[in-house]
Structures are given as structure tokens and as C-alpha cells.
Amino acid sequence: MIWAWWTAILVVVAGGMAYSVWPSVRTRVFHKGVLYRGSAQLNAVALTFDDGPDPHYTPQLLDALKFAGIPATFFVIAEKALNHPEIVERMLAEGHDVAIHGYRHWFVPVLPPRASIRQVKAASQALTHRFGTHPILYRPTWGAHNLAVEWSGVLQDTQLVTWSVMVGDWRVTPAAELLTRIRRKWHPGAILVLHDSDETWGAQRGAPNEVIQLIPMLALAVRQQGWEFQLLKSWLQKTSNEGPQIQ
């Protein structure tokens, strides 16, 4: 009898691991089925932002990006986007791309299948309906998803995205230190993730102020390296032999 209980427990644990943990291990550790970096032949980096739009920080960030001449990809929370449509409209008008980060900032691996799928589907529909743009990139909140998202077909027309450079900018860190961390990790084809909101769990108040200060420094450093900034979605359209690093 006791063995039957242990077997049942092991089956439940294994099932939970397969549903909640393995999909993220597959993408974050083994980089399977995900765009996490671009070709080294690109001589370019992709600048991306998560968790916005934020009515306080994002407009200032857009000012900095405009002054520096940097196109960026914003992985937005759809509920926030609907609450602050003027910011998203400005993103699009100024040549940035708007992508999916989720409908709300929930931890997808622990969500049941229906709620997990809604995080992607409802966000995509809301952004398409409100802003007339069809987002083709999805970065899950905290970079983690589950089996329901993979198997549901909700990603059929959407590319799963993570990153190759993350520097802990959600904690208040001087802009110069953020740049130092980036330079330690950067490479041609880097996907750099930063954050334009301090409202999510784990973020420190005021941290995006340093990200805003970072932008002109980052622009200069990247161009001195002989690289340029490109929109992430353009890498899906590359036709070189190596192409995007999608495995």
C-alpha cells in the first residue's frame, strides 16, 4: 500500500515538473525552440524592454531612445498598454516594435492551462485590436512558461523569445555599472533585456531612472564597437546561411 502512495506521489511530482519546469529549462538552459540571440554575422544588437508601459518611466525612456536614434522592442503587459494607449501609440509612431509579455504580469509556470494560454492569446488580440499591429514575438514574464503554452498552438504564429544579456537592472544600479555589466556579456547578435517599470515583484523603486541614464552611454559604446541597433523582429527575416539562433 505504501508503495502505491509513493508511486502516486512520484507520478504527480513528475507530471508537475514536466508541466511547469521542463519547458523553461528547455528554452532557458538548452535554448531549444527559442530566439535567444542573433547571428554573429549581424554586427548588431537588439535592445528590448520588459514590463511596461509605465506612465512615469516609459515616456522618458522614449525621449532618450529618440535622442540616441535607437530602435527598441517593447515587450508590454497588455493590460498596462490598454490603460496607457498613448504611450504604445508613441512607441509605434517612433519606429519601435511592440511585442507580447503577457496580459498581466503573472508567473506562467504555475497557471492552469486555460489561464496560461489566455496570457498569450488575450494579449495578442488586445494589442492587435487596439493598436492595429499584430505582434509576432512573445517573451513570457520572468522568461518562464509551461507545457500548455507549448502544446496549445497559441504560439503557432508567434516566436518565443528570451535573451542573451541580462544585467539585473531591476535593482537600483548606477548607469555606469549597468554599462560595465553589459560590456562583460555583450556579443554580436546580443539580445539585451532591460526594464521600464518598477511595479513588478522584485523590482526596486526608481531602478528605471538608471536605465534611462544608461541609454546615451550604451548608444555610444555599441557604435564604438562597430555595431548597430536593430529591431528584434528583423532578425526573423534574415536569409543568411547562419540566420537567427533558433534551435
Q: What is the mean pLDDT of residues 120-145?
A: 94
Helix extents (H) in the chain: 2-16, 22-28, 58-68, 78-83, 85-93, 113-131, 147-151, 175-185, 207-224
Check residue 151 and give its pLDDT: 75
Map residue 50 onto helix, strand or coil.
strand
Q: Specify the pTM.
A: 0.90
CA atoms of 201 and 221, how far apart (whole Å)? 31
Cell numbers that stand for 175 in this block: 548607469
Map residue 20 onto helix, strand or coil.
helix
Per-position b or e across 101-139, b if 16+ CB within 10 A of its CB: bbbebbebbebeeeebbbbbbbbbebbeeebeeebbbbb
- On the question of pLDDT at 43 being above 50, the answer is yes
The tens digit of pLDDT for each residue in 173-227 reads: 999 999 999 999 999 999 999 999 999 988 999 999 999 999 999 999 999 999 9
Contact 230, 42 (CB under 8 A): yes
For domain 33-233, give the fold. TIM Barrel (3.20.20)
Which of the four pLDDT bands, split at 50, 70 and 90, describes residue 148?
Answer: confident
Check residue 102 and give its pLDDT: 95
**Residue 53: is the preceding peptide bond cis (ω within 30°)?**
yes
Check residue 19 and give its pLDDT: 66
Q: Domain boundaries in the chain?
A: 33-233
Torsion of CA 98, 100, 103, 106, to 10 degrees: -130
- On the question of pLDDT at 232 being above 70, the answer is yes
Long-range (24+ apart) CB contacts under 8 A made by 114-117 are: 114/148, 116/145, 116/146, 116/148, 116/149, 116/152, 117/148, 117/149, 117/152, 117/154
Check residue 112 and give its pLDDT: 87
Cα dist. 17→30, 141, 150 in Å?
16, 19, 15
CA atoms of 245 and 189, how far apart (whole Å)? 9
The tens digit of pLDDT for each residue in 80-114 reads: 999 999 999 999 999 999 999 999 998 888 888 88
CA atoms of 247 and 232, how far apart (whole Å)? 17
| Distance, C-alpha 82 to centroid of its chain | 19
Check residue 17 and give its pLDDT: 53
- What residue type is assigned to position 110 of the chain? V
Element (H, E) at 140: none
